Structure 1
Amino acid sequence: MPETTRRAVLAGSAALLAGTALSAVAATPAGASRRSGPKPTVVLVHGAFADAAGWTEVTRRLQRAGYPVLAPANPLRGVPSDTAYLAEFLGTIDGPIVLVGHSYGGMIITNAATDNADVKALVYVAAFAPDEGDTLEGLQTKYPGSKLGMEALDFRPYTQPDGSMSYDGYVKAAAFREVFAGDLPESVTAVMAATQRPADVHTLQEPSGRPAWRTVPTWYLVARNDNLIPAAAQRFMAKRAQARTVEIGASHVAMISEPAATADLIARAAASVR
């Protein structure tokens, strides 16, 4: 091969390799190119009148994106005991964690993540994000608009392990859709009402502890059509926590009616974890 031809072939090959490398870099998501370890585990915590099944569609989306997902059962027995349960659960997970809470689940993640260095991001989905000393009742009634009054609840007594009596609160079937899930079909909310998990009434007035959002990066999904936690209360809590905030037109169960938007915000929080 003549020397001039050989040089031309080599130069063309080098240009082709360089172009291929540049194309590969451009096609790689920015988050993926900077991530050196495995993706963080996403832990999804449900609230009262619900269970982990509410996270089903969000879980599917996150799993398809390659995230390990866990959705433990929240005991709904009281702020101190539920916090202790979740804190111990988080202690069984290796590596970074993105901790997500819905409704009352926000109260629990706020407390359970405190002093856990593995929790790298908090995500609140139409959730309580309390400061120290706040109660659920105080935050829920801070702004007008909640339709979860005493008249919307049924109370059923139960015996606690120490033999004392307490009460579980259930949303009445007739009020459930309007209060909880107004953007879902009635056939769906009828089943949700029948299968709801109640919370002990004491949770309403139990104060929150030192909030993890003071030291952990935070995201918040505001549900504008929420009839349980008014949107104004959600905005107040999100601003106070200096959360990166997204608003959508959804009922209280935004993770069920708008799973794509919910999963997207969680993925954004997860992408920030290095």
Structure 2
Amino acid sequence: MLPKRPLHAVVLCLCFAGAGASALAQTAPSAPPIAPAAAPGVEQGPAQTPGAPPSPDHSSAPVNTPPAPTMAPAPSASSSAPTPSQPAAAPIAGPVHNIVLVHGAFVDGSSWNGVVAKLQHKGYHVSSVQNPLTSLADDVAATRRVLAREDGPVLLVGHSWGGVVITEVAANAPNVVGLVYVAALAPQLHESAMDVMKAGGPMPAGQSINKDANGFLWLDRARYRADLAADVPEMVTRVLAAAQVPIAAKAFDEPVDQIGWKDKPSWYVLTTQDRAVSPALQKTIAERIGAKVVPVASSHLAPVSHAGAVADAIDHAARELSRLQQ
């Protein structure tokens, strides 16, 4: 980010994608950033039954396992709220056939349309949350309402800002058995999105953010494609920019009170051409939470420009979780 104000820096965690059914679906801490090696995207495989043993790796995304995180979460001075004292409920067993997708800022649930279609073709039951983007608490509540309707184990997926949401939600959700972060933020306990973004250097997309008189953040339409979606067709990015849903700036200062990645398996789709959340910061986040890394040569809007690769990474995670659940 190249924001001149701290508030702008936070926005890069947003999910810069999607708008209407016509736009095919989209979108740290203090460890020193590590520059990841660019890798090609994941190729989409043929339709398969979720939870079934995988065919030879033709449908699975390449996975690199980073070292386990060594950083202990440190409470933030901005929040003294304790983690819930009640023990977490036992996870639900069985094959994973439910996928819940959580979008970020400037979009709605339709930003996942391309990914949804590909996962449905593979046989999954997919739900896309409609976040109000008025606060972290409101987005968490919206996601929990969707999870309450799922029958069986769920793989919870978050893009960009959506990573903050799924981190909070997954902690005490017994039907969530794993997490997938797509170019997303994954805070430590009592960290906010702003805290995570401070660990990364300035990024070009930071200059694309404007705050209105009501405290909501908007993306500059003229810079949308260059900074956030260089590999998305211009016609599509014009639609995304026009239909953007603003996010309340205050949301980025709200800390998480619990962290679902601490005791649930995680995967991380790392976008190596990202100009919003740097690949180095993404790698640091993935290492800190112990996630398996799936590199994709994409802009920040990987769910739009590389819907097949993102869907394949989610499918791979779901099938691996199904084996663990048996």
Q: Normalization by structure 1: what TM-score?
A: 0.81
TM-superposed deviation, 1:111: 0.5
User: Which residue number in structure 2 is paired with residue 68 of structure 1?
Assistant: 125
Distance in 2, matches of 1:222 and 1:238, equals: 8
User: Which residue number in structure 2 is paired with residue 138 of structure 1?
Assistant: 195
Kindly report which structure 2 residues correspond to 1:84-95, keeping only aligned pairs within 5 A, or say none.
Answer: 84-95=141-152
In the alignment, residue 229 of structure 2 is paired with which amino acid?
A
Structure 2: runs of 5+ lacking an equivalent? 1-47, 55-92
Contact 2:209–2:217 at 8 Å: present in 1 too? yes
With over 3 angstroms needed to count, the CA separation of the structure-2 counterparts of 1:173 and 1:61, relative to structure 1, is same
TM-superposed deviation, 1:167: 1.4
Residue 307 of structure 2 corresponds to residue 251 of structure 1:
no
For residue 104 of structure 1, the aligned residue among 152, 156, 161 is 161
**SS of corresponding position for 1:32:** coil
User: Which residue number in structure 1 is paired with residue 210 of structure 2?
Assistant: 154
User: Which residue number in structure 1 is paired with residue 81 of structure 2?
Assistant: none
The count of residues paired between Structure 1 and Structure 2 equals 237
User: Which residue number in structure 1 is paired with residue 183 of structure 2?
Assistant: 126
Distance in 2, matches of 1:106 and 1:112, equals: 10
For residue 47 of structure 1, the aligned residue among 88, 99, 104 is 104
Contact 1:87–1:113 at 8 Å: present in 2 too? no
**SS of corresponding position for 2:118:** helix
For residue 172 of structure 1, the aligned residue among 206, 220, 225 is 220
For residue 117 of structure 1, the aligned residue among 174, 181, 188 is 174
With over 3 angstroms needed to count, the CA separation of the structure-2 counterparts of 1:133 and 1:37, relative to structure 1, is closer
Point out the structure with the larger strand share: 1
Q: Could you report, residue by residue, the CA deviation over 1:60-102 in whole angstroms, capped at 9, with x for unpaired residues? A: 1111110000002111111122112212321222211010000
Structure 1: runs of 5+ lacking an equivalent? 1-27, 158-165
Distance in 1, matches of 2:177 and 2:201, equals: 33
Distance in 1, matches of 2:49 and 2:165, equals: 33
Distance in 1, matches of 2:215 and 2:185, equals: 22
User: Which residue number in structure 1 is paired with residue 258 of structure 2?
Assistant: 210
Point out the structure with the larger helix share: 1
Rg: which structure is higher? 1
Residue 228 of structure 2 corresponds to residue 228 of structure 1:
no
User: Which residue number in structure 1 is paired with residue 5 of structure 2?
Assistant: none
**SS of corresponding position for 2:210:** strand
Contact 2:187–2:256 at 8 Å: present in 1 too? yes
User: Which residue number in structure 2 is paired with residue 161 of structure 1?
Assistant: none
Distance in 2, matches of 1:31 and 1:49, equals: 33
Q: Could you report, residue by residue, the CA deviation over 1:221-258 in whole angstroms, capped at 9, with x for unpaired residues? A: 00011111111111111111100111111011111111
Q: Which has the higher contact order (CA 8 A, sep 6+)?
A: 2
TM-superposed deviation, 1:180: 1.7
